[in-house]
């Protein structure tokens, strides 16, 4: 892993991505819309529920939307510009360039979360109701690591596909629903709920609930352990996936548009 390449790629991505109209919409407009909708849904509920779903839930959703649309669409954009083959075989390393791109997008995702949380608290004149701020900060940190690896997995997977935009548009809302970031998982059918254990945002929401209600330390440690296991699982899958992607791409030579 080449740190210089990653930092350079991240810096370039951070500066260039905001030049796109759609990306500016994801960063500056979409979080306001999501915050407004969820804020109106939970404005008459308890302070705890408002904090969990309207504030934290919408911020997680905004972060995931920004990272998904930017990181996955970057692969599709490189393909149609005819540069995907070049960066794939570049001496700097495709994985290093891709990690840098995702980190650059992650920085914008953090800004998106800040805009989202600030807007909700100011617009609805509410205060955060949190008992354990340390757990909130740690959960956000682990969540971002998980999402970076998840975006890396998807970007690698969509390297093989020429229908990345279609798949990308179909992934956003199912993740919201299965993770319980907008409403309790108890509202979903029983047979669907186990899928949430595979998704990092679902563990983050559970941890936020403990941070708000000041849950038992054992419960906090169990959920933190679960989230860390998910992150490790994502990392292992990502490593295996990229080996298979590299082999498949070199054999089939299908990185171009045609």
Tell the residue number behind the tokens 């000041």, with chain if given: 214
Let me know if residue 201 belongs to a domain. yes
| Low pLDDT (below 50) residues in the chain | none
HEC profile of 54-71: HHHHHHHHHHHHHHHHHH
Report the alpha-carbon distance of residue 16 to residue 7 in Å, rounded: 14
Q: What's the CA gap between 196 and 158, in Å, rounded? A: 23
**What pLDDT sits at residue 206?**
94
CB count, 10 Å around CB of 184? 12
pLDDT of residue 127: 87
pLDDT attached to residue 85: 79
For residue 258, tell me if it sits in a domain.
no
Spatial neighbors of 140 by CB under 8 A, at least 6 apart, are 113, 204
- Residue 91: per-residue pLDDT: 84
Q: Is the residue at 100 inside a domain?
A: yes
The pLDDT value recorded for residue 256 is 62
CA distance 111 to 107: 6
Residue 218 falls within a domain, yes or no? yes
Residue 251's pLDDT is: 72
pLDDT 10s digits, 130-152 = 999 999 999 999 999 998 998 88
Q: What's the number of domains the chain is made of?
A: 1
Q: What is the pLDDT of residues 172-186, one digit of tens each?
A: 778 888 888 888 888
- End-to-end, the C-alpha distance of the chain in Å comes to 31
Structure tokens at 11: 């810096």
Domain housing 87: 3-252
Q: What is the token pair recorded at 157?
A: 């997977």
pLDDT of residue 1: 67
Q: Is residue 65 part of a domain?
A: yes
């Amino acid at each position: 892993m080449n740190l210089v390449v990653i930092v350079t790629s991240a810096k370039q991505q951070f500066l260039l991505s905001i030049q796109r109209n759609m990306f500016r919409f994801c960063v500056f407009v979409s979080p306001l819309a999501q915050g407004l909708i969820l804020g109106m849904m939970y404005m008459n509920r308890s302070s705890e529920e408002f904090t969990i779903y309207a504030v934290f839930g919408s911020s997680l959703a905004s972060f995931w939307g920004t990272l998904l649309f930017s990181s996955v669409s970057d692969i599709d954009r490189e393909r149609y510009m005819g540069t995907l083959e070049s960066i794939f075989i570049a001496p700097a390393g495709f994985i290093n360039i891709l990690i840098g791109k995702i980190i650059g997008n992650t920085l914008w995702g953090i800004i998106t979360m800040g805009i989202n949380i600030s807007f909700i608290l100011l617009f609805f004149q509410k205060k955060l109701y949190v008992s354990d701020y340390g757990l909130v900060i740690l959960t956000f940190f682990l969540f971002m690591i998980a999402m970076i690896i998840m975006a890396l997995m998807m970007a690698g997977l969509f390297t093989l596909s020429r229908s990345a935009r279609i798949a990308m548009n179909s992934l956003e809302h199912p993740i919201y629903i299965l993770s319980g970031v907008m409403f309790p998982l108890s509202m979903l059918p029983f047979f669907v709920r186990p899928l949430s254990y595979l998704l990092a945002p679902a563990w983050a929401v559970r941890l936020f609930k403990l941070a708000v209600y000041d849950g038992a330390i054992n419960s906090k440690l169990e959920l933190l352990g679960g989230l860390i296991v998910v992150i490790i699982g994502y990392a292992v899958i990502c490593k295996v996936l990229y080996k298979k992607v590299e082999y498949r791409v070199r054999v089939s030579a299908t990185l171009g548009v045609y």
